[in-house]
């Protein structure tokens, strides 16, 4: 299962070249938003997508912001992949999302309050559902194969990519667009996370500090990240460049606290090991770990312990959320894109704003862009409710490691 195209639109860039340049610079893309009753919050706000210019005024008006992000990122990924040479019925989509069309929901609630329930838009419901990003992307790009919308909190994007690969393996599609999308920067969502104690109370550009002893919460963000998956043989036959191979997918559930991770990281470690096993590689083969690392006290510590348990504490680790913020259900999709770009360019992006790493457990942190031959990489995603997802990527070579032959996803 190989990746032949990637696309992104987020706080750190409106496409993959600008996203990669920002990741390489290590300069955070953290801004501010003023919310009545909440004050000033740090957020990763993306540039408004030009959906009208890309898809026409009529279609743009039939999309919530979250769906615009998804459709724009998908357009870039499709253009990069080139002509798939497949019937639309054999091309599917899987886009994870936590909250759906929050701007639409907030607007509908305001309308009901100020003008009456009979005044809301007849399109309010289809625009605010969590399946809206995948439904919109399928409609805009004519993808008539399976359309999936995993909603596993902040693991949604990675689960979408893993489920997309499973869909191809099962023979239900020959190619899939997969990733995540989120547009949560509305008062109701921000207030909820603030009341939960998950958001950083700081509002400066270096607020997101994964693995740093001074971290105090995550920076909520928005955007989308999409990859194109297809069978290796099909990609080679049509002469498409292979950017990376999705070789493994592992999932688990803590089945414990409603928001907090298991303190010892046992669930995430299990997902990592399952992903490595699926890929037919060992922990010692891994050249890069793209950490979930949200900049919360408990989450980062649990992930660090999980990396130790999985034998990955020696691998170079970095946290893209230090630059782009935490886009919730889009995180797995965006970070899969970053991981693939790291493999493609041979450079590991740095963790920004990490000046005082937690001493225990010690990890091999990357704090400046580091050239590396990344042949095996792991990308982690964890979410409220105990959802754990891990993706293992390989270079796409026939024998990317000495750790054994690829698993089912890599065949």
Of the pLDDT bands very low, low, confident and very high (cuts 50, 70, 90), residue 263 is: confident
Residue 97 belongs to what domain range?
A: 2-395
DSSP 366-388: --S-EE---SEEEEEEEETTTEE
* Position 18 pLDDT exceeds 50: yes
Cβ-Cβ contacts under 8 Å for 255 (sequence gap 6 or more): 267, 386
379 falls within a domain: yes
Tokens representing 99? 């909250």
Of the pLDDT bands very low, low, confident and very high (cuts 50, 70, 90), residue 288 is: very high
For the segment 40-44, the average pLDDT, to the nearest whole number, is 97
- According to DSSP, residue 204 is labeled S
23 falls within a domain: yes
Q: Is the peptide bond before 361 cis (omega within 30 degrees of 0)?
A: yes
**Total of domains in the chain:** 1
Terminal Cα-to-Cα distance of the chain (whole angstroms): 7
For the segment 29-48, the average pLDDT, to the nearest whole number, is 95
Q: How far is CA 279 from the centre of its chain?
A: 20
The owner of tokens 């409710």 is 385
Of the pLDDT bands very low, low, confident and very high (cuts 50, 70, 90), residue 404 is: very low
pLDDT in tens, 69-122: 999 999 999 999 999 999 999 999 999 999 999 999 999 999 999 999 999 999
pLDDT at 405: 34
pLDDT at 397: 67
410 falls within a domain: no
pLDDT at 324: 98
Buried b or exposed e, range 240-268, using 16+ CB within 10 angstroms: bebbbbbbbbbbbebeeeeeebbeebbbb
* Position 305 pLDDT exceeds 60: yes
Q: pTM score, two decimals?
A: 0.95
Of the pLDDT bands very low, low, confident and very high (cuts 50, 70, 90), residue 396 is: confident
CATH assignment of the domain containing 153: 3.40.47.10
For the segment 346-365, the average pLDDT, to the nearest whole number, is 97
The helix (H) or strand (E) run that includes residue 61 is none
By C-alpha distance, which of 23, 13, 35, 103 is closest to 320? 23
Lowest mean pLDDT among 254-258, 275-279, 323-327, 381-385: 254-258
Whole-angstrom distance, CA of residue 377 vs CA of residue 140: 32
The helix (H) or strand (E) run that includes residue 221 is strand 220-221
Tokens representing 316? 């170079």
407 falls within a domain: no
% pLDDT > 70, the chain: 96
Whole-angstrom distance, CA of residue 32 vs CA of residue 209: 16
Rounded (10°) angle between helices 132-141 and 65-81:
40
Cβ-Cβ contacts under 8 Å for 237 (sequence gap 6 or more): none
pLDDT in tens, 199-253: 999 999 999 999 999 999 999 999 999 999 999 999 999 999 999 999 999 999 9
Measuring CA to CA, how many Å separate 325 from each of 17, 208, 301, 319? 18, 7, 18, 10
Whole-angstrom distance, CA of residue 301 vs CA of residue 314: 16
402 falls within a domain: no
* Position 181 pLDDT exceeds 60: yes
% pLDDT > 90, the chain: 93
The owner of tokens 């005024």 is 57
The C-alpha torsion from 365 through 370 and 374 to 378, rounded to 10°, is: 30
The helix (H) or strand (E) run that includes residue 145 is none
406 falls within a domain: no
Q: How far is CA 59 from the centre of its chain?
A: 25
By C-alpha distance, which of 160, 203, 157 is closest to 180? 157
Catalytic residues: 154, 292, 326
The C-alpha torsion from 215 through 216 and 222 to 224, rounded to 10°, is: 40
404 falls within a domain: no
The mean pLDDT value of the chain amounts to 95
61 falls within a domain: yes
């Amino acid at each position: 299962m190989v990746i032949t195209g990637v696309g992104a639109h987020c706080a750190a860039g409106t496409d993959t070249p600008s996203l990669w340049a920002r990741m390489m610079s290590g300069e955070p893309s953290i801004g501010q938003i003023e919310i009545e009753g909440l004050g000033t919050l740090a957020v990763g706000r993306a540039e408004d997508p030009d959906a009208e210019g890309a898809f026409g005024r009529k279609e743009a008006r039939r999309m919530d912001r979250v769906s615009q992000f998804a459709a724009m990122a998908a357009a870039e990924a499709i253009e990069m992949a080139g002509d798939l040479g497949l019937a639309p019925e054999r091309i599917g989509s899987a886009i994870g999302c936590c909250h759906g069309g929050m701007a639409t929901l907030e607007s509908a609630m305001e309308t009901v309050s100020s003008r009456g329930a009979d005044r809301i838009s007849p399109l309010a419901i289809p625009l605010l559902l969590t399946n809206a990003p995948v439904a919109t992307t399928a409609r805009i790009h004519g993808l008539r194969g399976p359309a999936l919308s995993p909603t596993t909190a902040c693991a949604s994007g990675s689960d979408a990519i893993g489920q997309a690969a499973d869909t191809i393996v099962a023979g239900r599609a020959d190619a899939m667009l997969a990733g995540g999308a989120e547009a949560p920067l509305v008062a109701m969502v921000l207030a909820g996370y603030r009341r939960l104690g998950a958001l950083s109370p700081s509002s400066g550009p270096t607020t997101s500090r994964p693995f740093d002893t001074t971290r105090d919460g995550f920076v909520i963000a928005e955007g989308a990240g999409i990859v194109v998956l297809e069978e290796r043989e099909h990609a080679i036959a049509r002469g498409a460049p292979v950017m990376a191979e999705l070789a493994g997918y592992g999932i688990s559930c803590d089945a414990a606290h409603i928001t907090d991770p298991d303190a010892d990281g046992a669930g995430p470690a299990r997902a990592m090991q399952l992903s490595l096993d699926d890929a037919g590689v060992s922990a010692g083969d891994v050249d890069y770990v793209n950490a979930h690392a949200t900049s919360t006290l408990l989450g980062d510590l649990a992930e660090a312990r999980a990396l130790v348990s999985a034998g990955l504490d020696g691998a170079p680790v970095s946290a893209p959320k230090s630059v782009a913020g935490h886009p919730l259900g889009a995180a797995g999709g965006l970070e899969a894109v970053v991981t693939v770009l790291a493999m493609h360019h041979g450079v590991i992006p740095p963790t920004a704003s990490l000046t005082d790493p937690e001493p225990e457990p010690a990890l091999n942190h990357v704090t400046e862009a580091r050239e590396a031959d990344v042949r095996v990489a792991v990308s982690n995603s964890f979410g409220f409710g105990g959802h754990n997802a891990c993706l293992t990527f390989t270079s796409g070579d026939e024998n990317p490691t000495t750790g054994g032959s690829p698993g089912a996803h890599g065949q």
